[in-house]
Homo-oligomer: A and B are copies of this chain.
Amino acid sequence: MFTSLQVPSQCSEVHYEVELGVVISTGGKNIPESSALSHVGGYTLALDMTARDIQSAAKKKGYPWSVAKGYDTFCPVSSFIEKDKIVLDDCRLWLKVDGETKQDGSTKNMIYSVPFLISYISGIFTLEPGDVIITGTPEGVGPVKPGQTLTAGIEGVLEMTFPVVSA
């Protein structure tokens, strides 16, 4: 259990990415888009932290990126959000660094819809209850430094705050 976001000493540039998380309640394989939302139990707010320097170096070499998103504390999520609290057609997500708005977008601008993502992913592997799908971030990603404070929210639903520390 972590209560702060760590910037590891190995990383020179750690970026925030605020994202909607989809919590799967009923698993399945090859789920059609038309029934995908019946597999959703609720939502969560996620910060998909990314070591951009590590990711960029891996991309150039054709190496896997997993490590760039895998440091301790890199994907904090909020408490569980009941399904009927989120209006998927237009859910506003925002992120502030030290109180200054950096990201402010709506799920209406998603490149891939939640039903598409569930259908696509379940065509690759079986989804299980409790799996969380994070769904991509609005414009405005950028670096965060130790000493700053990240606050992210879903308008009208919840917000969460993390101090950023070095590790």
Interface residues of A (CB under 8 A from B): 8, 10, 29, 59-60, 62, 64-67, 70-72, 123-126
Contacts and interface: CB of A to CB of B under 8 A. Distances in A.
> Assembly of this chain: how many copies?
2
19 contacts: A8-B124, A10-B123, A10-B124, A29-B72, A59-B62, A60-B62, A62-B62, A64-B64, A64-B65, A64-B66, A65-B65, A66-B66, A67-B124, A70-B124, A70-B125, A71-B124, A71-B125, A72-B125, A72-B126
Contacts of A10: 123-124
A72 B70 CA distance: 22
A79 B146 CA distance: 44
A8 B29 CA distance: 12
